[in-house]
Structure 1
Amino acid sequence: MSHLLLVEDDPDLTLALRMLFTRAGYDVSHAGNGRAGLREAYAEHPDLVVLDVGLPEMDGWQVLERLRDLSDVPVLMLTAHGQETEKVRGLRAGADDYLTKPFANAELLARVEALLRRSGSSATWASQIYDDGLVHLDPTQRRVYVSGREVRLTPTEFRLLNALLRHAGAVLSPNQLLTQAWDDPTGIGQERVKFAVLRLRRKLGWSDPEDSPVESVRGFGYRYRRPPNQPSGRAARA
């Protein structure tokens, strides 16, 4: 039985969709806002997420961006806006499909079934342990080891390191790191990323920029350089 996560704040629509999906044979969980949706997604690892754009506090676009840092889980977005620009924005941001309200129940179910068939319910999640021989990071246990030595990090430092490791070799801009590492990046300046990276390097024992695997790329952002001749860093799910 496939597990669907419905992230929707309208109680009437939520009730209707839960009944629709349950009768169609799906296991359904629900979150009423974006932050709760992300927590539920991380904890439950659904096979598909049905995500409303107009959520309170953290809107659907922000939730989608965070979800894409966690997983390639299929995401079907629901919105009251039918403009072509909105649909293009959703697909470019990583949504797999886009449906405008009001919609027919049969069409919604057909789109859900199609997405599940294409994905094969094989979404990978960032709860996987990362280990490249130098750094071992366990998201479930919230533990980090460098060369076998455990390092205590703050929640923000942990998320910052996790983001860099998951995108090893790629340059992440300060704005991307703000989005991935800070619970509420609104109003937080890019300078804060710089100082957080400096603190992270010190804690990990990489104070010398020349020797640090976390390197600054002038004018672009930061990158984690995987140690040479080491594995890719992927491991079995925790």
Structure 2
Amino acid sequence: MTRLLVVEDDPDLSLALRVLLTRSGYEITLAADGREALRRLFAERPALMVLDLLLPGLDGWEVLDRTRDMSDLPVLVLSGLGGVDDRVRGLRSGADDYLVKPFAQAELLARVEALLRRTGPGHWAGEAVEEDMRLVPERRSALWHGTEIRLSDIEYRLLQLLVRNRGRVVTTEQLLDQVWDDSTAIGRDRVKFAVLRLRRKLRYAGGPHAPDPIDAVRGLGYRYDNGPAAGNGAG
């Protein structure tokens, strides 16, 4: 059964969502605040998260940001914040969809189903997902073959984006846009030299027998692949 995490601090709405989604065949985990949401996220690895933004303590914006540090888990924001700026901010912060309260039950179910069809299982960049790699967002570092590597902010964001898209090529233009916030795609050498620095740190930490998990795909970009054939790319 597909597990969903519902993060909602209103007990009546939380109960209504649990009943609605359970009747639709989902297994539901509830969280009433941001810190509980992150604990549930780590412990249970749901297939999708329905996230309120106005939460006590750690708010939904921070939950969304931390979720994107470790996973590309599908996130449906369900919020009373219905302004254009709020919706744009939510989508730019990594939400896959945004639904404003009050909402029609049929529309909520349709959006959940569409996200699960479109995105598939979430890939996790955190503990117990990659056998030899774990990102540590609170320290801006990575554990590679058991050794912690301290990274610059650019190196961390670069590795995070590659791991989050593991197995898929991330183009140089995408890296410039999402890591350097440079949509002009000028300065491609910055990507090349940052990847070289990152590879050097991984090689030093992993030792002579560890693979190089970052493949250079000539003319396109880079791919994180920690499989048996990792490390065959040049550049």
With the shorter chain as reference, the TM-score category is 0.5 to 0.7
Alignment of 1:65-76 (within 5 A): 65-76=65-76
Among 170, 178, 199, which residue is 1:226 paired with?
199
- Select the structure with the greater relative contact order (CA < 8 A; seq sep ≥ 6): 1
What is the aligned-residue RMSD (CA, Å)?
Answer: 3.5
- 1:144–1:111 distance in 2 versus 1, CA, 3 Å: closer
Counterpart-to-counterpart distance in 2, 1:51 and 1:84: 18
Among all aligned residue pairs of Structure 1 and Structure 2, give the percentage whose two residues are the same amino acid.
49
Taking structure 1 as reference, are residues 14 and 225 closer, same or farther at Cα in structure 2, changes over 3 Å only? same
Aligned counterpart, 1:44: 44
- Could you tell me how far apart the structure 2 residues matched to 1:130 and 1:54 are? 35
| Distance in 2, Cα, partners of 1:97 & 1:152 | 35
Q: Which residue identity does 2:160 align to in structure 1?
A: R
Cα distance in 2 for partners of 1:103, 1:58 equals 24
Following TM superposition, by how much is the alpha carbon of 1:126 offset from its aligned partner in structure 2, in angstroms? Answer: 1.6
Give the length in aligned residue pairs: 174
CA distance in 1, matches of 2:98, 2:225: 31
Q: How does 1:12-51 map to 2 (within 5 A)?
A: 12-51=12-51
SS of residue in 1 equivalent to 2:199 = coil
Deviation string for 1:191-229 (max 9, x for gaps)? xxxxxxxxxxxxxxxxxxxxxxxxxx9xxxxx9612378
Q: What is the aligned partner in structure 2 of residue 100 from structure 1?
A: 100
1:235 positional shift: 3.8
The residue correspondences of 1:115-134 to structure 2 (distance < 5 A) are 115-120=115-120, 122-127=121-126, 128-129=129-130, 131=132
| Residue 152 to residue 107, structure 1, CA distance change in 2 (3 Å) | closer
Contact 1:129 1:234 in 2 (8 A): no
Q: What letter corresponds to residue 87 of structure 1 in structure 2?
A: R
Q: Structure 1, residues 11-51: CA drift from partner, whole Å, max 9, x if none?
A: 11111100000000001111111111111112211111000
CA gap 1:125/1:137 in 2 versus in 1, 3 angstroms: closer
- The DSSP-based 3-state class of the residue aligned with 1:28 is strand
**Residues 113-138 of structure 1: CA deviation (Å, up to 9, x unaligned):** 11111012x2101233364xxxx658
| Cα distance in 2 for residues equivalent to 1:224 and 1:39 | 33
Distance 2:45 2:101 in 1: 26
Name 1:8's counterpart in structure 2: 8
Contact 2:213–2:226, Cα closer than 8 Å, also in 1:
no
Determine if contact 2:5/2:49 at 8 Å carries over to the other structure. Answer: yes
TM-score after normalising by structure 1: 0.61
AA aligned to 2:198 is: R
TM-score, scaled relative to structure 2: 0.62
Counterparts in 2 of 1:144 and 1:26: CA distance versus 1, 3 Å: same
Report the Cα distance in structure 2 between the residues aligned to 1:39 and 1:24, rounded to whole angstroms. Answer: 25
**1:79-90 → structure 2 map (5 Å cutoff):** 79-90=79-90
Aligned to 1:166: 160
Alignment deviations for residues 141-194 of structure 1 (CA, whole Å, 9 cap, x no partner):
xx9567xxx6589xxx89x99877535797999xxxxxxxxxxxxxxxxxxxxx
Tell me the residue number matched to 2:109.
Answer: 109
